[in-house]
């Protein structure tokens, strides 16, 4: 899932198990505070990410399947699924009988979400909570990958070096021209990731967080 929140927020998605002939819209513009609030939780973001994976079709999953995918207790997810459904971010795409119980299966209602800067500024408090959820979601995933990364660089085959997590954090003192150049390059990378998101549905899931800002003068 891509989230480019201070330009046009995009969560790029899809998958491989469509059960409904209804084709969700490619892009949905978020202009509802309740939708923004629904995004402001790491668990709901994780559910939405699972239902918006790259691929030809958007996935259709039950709460049980989502729990297995996210390694969370099934009972923990029901409330979050209902909130996402109430906000119109996911829908019931099919039902089936499992051991005599009617099981609902869910699908995302869009492949991309966009938010413009004006909407974010108008609802600054809700935006701050949503942004914190995005950062928490990324932090948890990064730390899990960091803990799982046991091999020294010298022991990792060169063709698998992409598996090692990397991070760069710095306060750089640069000219306005250099700042503009760096920002332009980052936007180019983000646009390239969005354009190529569905190219290899059989590949690995790469989680990327890109951002920069000019520190306010004190």
For the chain, 218 residues long, give each residue's pLDDT as a single digit of tens. 444 444 433 333 333 333 444 555 677 888 888 998 998 898 999 999 899 886 678 899 999 999 999 999 999 999 999 999 999 999 999 888 878 888 999 999 988 787 777 888 888 888 888 888 888 888 988 998 888 887 676 667 777 788 888 899 888 899 999 999 999 999 888 887 766 555 576 778 788 889 889 988 76
DSSP class of residue 162 equals G
CA 98 to chain centroid, in Å, comes to 30
Residue length of the chain? 218
Rounded CA gap, 35 and 5, in Å?
14
Which residues on adjacent β-strands are paired with residue 90? 108
Q: Which two tokens stand for residue 69?
A: 């995918």
Tell me the pTM.
Answer: 0.70
Q: Which two tokens stand for residue 13?
A: 């998605």
Are 131 and 5 spatial neighbours (Cβ–Cβ below 8 Å)? Answer: yes
Domains (range + CATH), the chain: 1-218 (1.10.10.10)
* Residue 104 burial (C-beta neighbours within 10 Å; 0-12, 13-18, 19+): middle
Are 44 and 118 spatial neighbours (Cβ–Cβ below 8 Å)? Answer: no
Q: Which two tokens stand for residue 32?
A: 């509802």
Rounded CA gap, 88 and 26, in Å?
15
Could you tell me the end-to-end alpha-carbon distance of the chain, in angstroms, rounded to an integer?
35
Q: Which helix (H) or strand (E) holds 148?
A: helix 124-148
CA 82 to chain centroid, in Å, comes to 19
Q: Which two tokens stand for residue 26?
A: 């490619």
Rounded CA gap, 76 and 68, in Å?
12
Q: How far is CA 146 from CA 132, 162, 203, 206, in A?
A: 21, 13, 20, 14
pLDDT in tens, 51-83: 988 667 889 999 999 999 999 999 999 999 999
């Amino acid at each position: 899932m891509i989230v480019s929140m201070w330009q046009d927020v995009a969560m790029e998605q899809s998958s491989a198990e469509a059960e409904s002939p209804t084709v969700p819209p490619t892009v949905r513009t978020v202009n509802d505070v309740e939708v923004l609030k629904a995004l402001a939780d790491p668990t709901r973001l994780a559910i939405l990410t699972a239902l918006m994976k790259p691929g030809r079709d958007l996935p259709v999953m039950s709460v049980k399947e989502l729990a297995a995918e996210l390694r969370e207790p099934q009972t923990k997810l029901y409330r979050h699924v209902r909130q996402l459904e109430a906000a119109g971010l996911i829908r019931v795409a099919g039902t089936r009988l499992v051991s005599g119980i009617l099981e609902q299966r869910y699908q995302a209602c869009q492949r991309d979400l966009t938010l413009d800067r004006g909407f974010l500024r108008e609802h600054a408090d809700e935006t701050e909570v949503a942004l914190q959820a995005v950062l928490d979601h990324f932090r948890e995933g990064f730390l899990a990958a960091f803990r799982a990364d046991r091999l020294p660089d010298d022991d990792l085959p060169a063709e698998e070096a992409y598996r090692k997590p990397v991070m760069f954090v710095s306060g750089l003192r640069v000219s306005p021209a250099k700042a503009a150049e760096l920002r332009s390059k980052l936007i180019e990378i983000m646009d390239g990731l969005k354009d190529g998101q569905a190219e290899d549905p059989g590949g690995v899931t790469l989680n990327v967080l890109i951002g920069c800002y000019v520190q306010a003068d004190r």
